[in-house]
Structure 1
């Protein structure tokens, strides 16, 4: 999404922009001849990369391959990882690193390069001048009141809209993506979102305008807010939901929040009425020790209260758990499992702790290991021994099983399953046929049974 915002600003400034998705759906990079052919045919003057920590190694690989064929192209890297470790990219062949938000910086940078002006006058960049690495003055965050819409037309956006809404297996509807704010006012020690990034919110009218645009141009039926903290203040959520209802916008909406930001039942019921079907929550751990260590700023009672309120409002809950924090013990993970059993979240996602540059928990040793990781960090073993990995995998499976006890997730445990199956077969056979068709054409599931089962889960939850 960040690249598309930058592209929109560059196009508005008169630059011709092309977005090439160097990492394909199989995470192939330099092996993909089609992408390289597309790149060389376009023959750009400037080459920009949007980088996050877990694609650092593949980005460096691509930069080196470009440098093997040409020395005169200006390579620019931006994103969270380059912002915290710019020297790594400069020393790997990049000419410039953009620190923080890139919309305004990129325009000034390209103008300066085109006119051969002094780069030290461009705020918010790092570059190499001879043997000296220069860091220019800090650039203030941009004003979201005048934020341009992302340049979706530069990518195959229809490909991205046809995914599972909110990570729910089998739910394939046209889903749009949007950001309602930037930054985070909280200080979790494992997260980069609050580092160098002031919390700002877009105007509700501007968000509604972009939603209408996506509905008109891409016929979206669902909407995922990518913000870590969509629900920050009840007043703004009420304004947004009221606007959705007033404009008669019919979407199934997914968003994220914190358990301690969830407001009263009236607000949650309004969200339900406006189309919110799922709220994701950063539960992280059931251990008070771990919650305190990572400066999460919540306690177990707040977690229980927040999840219960959302469930009671008829909105599905998606609890994010992180395992493998420094000094986390088996007792801590047992406490997490007990909490998950108690709160009965509709879905549970369990991820391994990943040390991120710029965060208080990050170390020099972590930085060396990060250079070696594969693109997929979820299963990556770089940061832990095989014994630790085995233990974490064991707990991960146990945690995820806690959500399967919810009848909305596992229909086979639902008392009325067979009656529901009969209704679907006779009244809505297209539900089963769609699941079977997806399995036959795309092989998304382990079996036709799993495809049909997932299709019914989808139908039960969303209708």
Structure 2
């Protein structure tokens, strides 16, 4: 049999950064090692449509089985792959794995519709058994961790697949899935802004049970041996020009002795790196050790500045722990990232105000603000479903998990909280002290600029800073974040092309509101009754924005709006299939980045 492993298209344009799919890369390597005849297709590096690429790959390689996967938020992109394959070759066998299936097997299979087999949990062992069964035409009913349709119902096989031995896995299939193309792009992630950034996983799982978090690889925490990890790093160095190492572990600094050995060994490589830590583990000695080992940035789960919310989230930390840790890291000059997330079950106007006031007091830390997302598989999702806050879990997945009102705060209190989140972040950061030059690439919706850090006075050259995505730019010397400027030429180009759309379609709808678009809307200063702002999340409804208010997406059908602009480009690929299906009145659906093109018509 011939197998095709497909990485769903999650970018908006070729050349954009995306998170390398480590899970799919491990599956690919395991299947090749097992001797299966495997072809690979990464849709993020190819220009043709998803349906064309899938059809070409199936025909060229006489494909019998297609495998893909990803997270729940990538539902639209994953469905597009499966749907395209089934439309072209009805009898092709389709297999989906990853967080989307593992977190909610029954609901995900119903939402995706065209999947023959779903893989629950870590897929390396399961996929071996499943593919051997397909090859030999054996029953799959005794393979644990597999869900499939049997008549009108879905069946999950009994038993539980054993956790994967992380020290016996082959290296991820970096070449087969096009890592050499991805490293030519610059991450649009806070704390990372370097070409040739490489992902590495040194452990799986997480021993903690935060209510908002789901662990696709399971609760059991397993660490790879450092010999195995450094064999992989040595391979990457000999094959690629590594400049930055992004350690993808959910929790890296859990074992202090292992961390100490890692720092001692990585130091001689002379490359920068970042990883995730807990504030309770931070000491001055640890931070000094990390700096000496070329660690450029520490990631923290801050979540709230109110101990009542931290307890409700089951975080096992206090705001006092956070205060102590961040003070040590900040005073040491080591970069760090973190986020406050609002809207927990126990959130009140008082607790939200406490967190916002703490954030304002510590604005120099540059922490992000966000709303909690009720992902399937989390304790929050179970609560929301049991309380009737999520009435249709299948539709919830199709809608890409819109934010849910979990607490008893009033609509006015929610609106105030959300407006704080949208407005404060860019207001808290300054532009670089001096912008010496910049060049705008309209076709790729990005710019290069040279500026002086307002903290350490270092001259920085920022390349391919993407509009609508990169809310901040980071000093490569001290880690200070500045807000990414929005040149007047960008505003003028958007207004010009919006007027073209208004003349053609009469009405326009902007889909989605995030901090970048919120700030951009103020610069656009649009006051037109034929321009609407919508969001799937009820929490954002009623928010004031550029002379209008955010409404339900129902307004698209009610007013027969024919032109919709998705304001967050990195979500476009996942949202587009669902939007087009749900609102057939739409004649033109586009990403906001398309408004910058000089060829726009």
Could you tell me which residue of structure 1 aligns to residue 169 of structure 2?
A: 147
Q: CA deviation at 1:36?
A: 4.6
Secondary structure of the structure 2 residue equivalent to 1:77:
strand
Could you tell me which residue of structure 2 aligns to residue 138 of structure 1?
A: 160
**Structure 2 CA distance for aligned equivalents of residues 289 and 361 of structure 1:** 16
Task: Note the alpha carbon deviations across 1:82-104, whole angstroms, 9 max, x for none.
Answer: 12322245441211111100011
**Structure 1 CA distance for aligned equivalents of residues 178 and 265 of structure 2:** 29
**Structure 1 CA distance for aligned equivalents of residues 451 and 417 of structure 2:** 29
**Which of 364, 375, 395 is equivalent to 2:420?**
395
Bigger shift: 236-245 or 322-331? 322-331
Task: Note the alpha carbon deviations across 1:274-312, whole angstroms, 9 max, x for none.
Answer: 110100111011122221111111111001111122223
Q: CA deviation at 1:361?
A: 1.1
**Structure 2 CA distance for aligned equivalents of residues 167 and 351 of structure 1:** 15
RMSD in angstroms over aligned alpha carbons? 3.4
Bigger shift: 267-276 or 161-170? 161-170
**Structure 2 CA distance for aligned equivalents of residues 79 and 58 of structure 1:** 13
Bigger shift: 364-373 or 251-260? 364-373
Count of residue pairs the alignment pairs up: 431
Could you tell me which residue of structure 2 aligns to residue 252 of structure 1?
A: 272
Secondary structure of the structure 1 residue equivalent to 2:326:
helix
| Equivalent pair of 1:308/1:343 in contact (CA under 8 Å) | no
Task: Note the alpha carbon deviations across 1:362-402, whole angstroms, 9 max, x for none.
Answer: 1335324523325xx7xx56879997875454222455258
Bigger shift: 181-190 or 143-152? 143-152
Alignment of 1:17-56 (within 5 A): 17-22=38-43, 30=50, 33-34=52-53, 36-56=55-75
**Which of 373, 381, 396 is equivalent to 2:399?**
373
Could you tell me which residue of structure 2 aligns to residue 444 of structure 1?
A: 446
| Equivalent pair of 1:254/1:279 in contact (CA under 8 Å) | yes
Task: Note the alpha carbon deviations across 1:16-59, whole angstroms, 9 max, x for none.
Answer: 32332346799x975x6445534543342111121211122442
Q: CA deviation at 1:156?
A: 2.0
Task: Note the alpha carbon deviations across 1:158-197, whole angstroms, 9 max, x for none.
Answer: 3322444582489332100011111101110110028843
Q: With structure 1 as the length reference, what TM-score do the two structures score?
A: 0.82
Residue 149 to residue 345, structure 1, CA distance change in 2 (3 Å)? farther
**Which of 85, 101, 123 is equivalent to 2:104?**
85
Task: Note the alpha carbon deviations across 1:103-130, whole angstroms, 9 max, x for none.
Answer: 1110111001110112123222122344
**Structure 2 CA distance for aligned equivalents of residues 229 and 161 of structure 1:** 24
1:301 paired with 2:326, answer no
Structure with the larger strand share: 2
Q: CA deviation at 1:204?
A: 1.0
**Structure 1: where are the runs of 5+ without partners?**
426-431
**Which of 173, 178, 202 is equivalent to 2:224?**
202
Q: CA deviation at 1:443?
A: 3.9
**Structure 2 CA distance for aligned equivalents of residues 41 and 382 of structure 1:** 45
Could you tell me which residue of structure 2 aligns to residue 461 of structure 1?
A: 478
Structure with the larger helix share: 1
Q: CA deviation at 1:453?
A: 7.1
Alignment of 1:2-13 (within 5 A): 2-13=23-34
Could you tell me which residue of structure 2 aligns to residue 184 of structure 1?
A: 206
Alignment of 1:63-462 (within 5 A): 63-91=82-110, 92-131=113-152, 133-136=154-157, 137-164=159-186, 167-168=189-190, 171-193=193-215, 196-245=218-267, 248-262=268-282, 264-343=283-362, 346-362=365-381, 363-364=384-385, 365-366=389-390, 367-374=393-400, 391-401=416-426, 404=429, 410-412=431-433, 436=438, 439=441, 442-445=444-447, 455=462, 458-461=475-478
Secondary structure of the structure 2 residue equivalent to 1:187:
coil
**Structure 2 CA distance for aligned equivalents of residues 34 and 194 of structure 1:** 28
Secondary structure of the structure 1 residue equivalent to 2:280:
coil
**Structure 2 CA distance for aligned equivalents of residues 40 and 194 of structure 1:** 33
Residue 98 to residue 308, structure 1, CA distance change in 2 (3 Å)? same
| Equivalent pair of 1:411/1:457 in contact (CA under 8 Å) | no
Secondary structure of the structure 1 residue equivalent to 2:276:
strand
Residue 256 to residue 235, structure 1, CA distance change in 2 (3 Å)? same
**Structure 2: where are the runs of 5+ without partners?**
1-21, 454-458, 463-472, 481-601
| Equivalent pair of 1:50/1:79 in contact (CA under 8 Å) | yes
Q: With structure 2 as the length reference, what TM-score do the two structures score?
A: 0.64
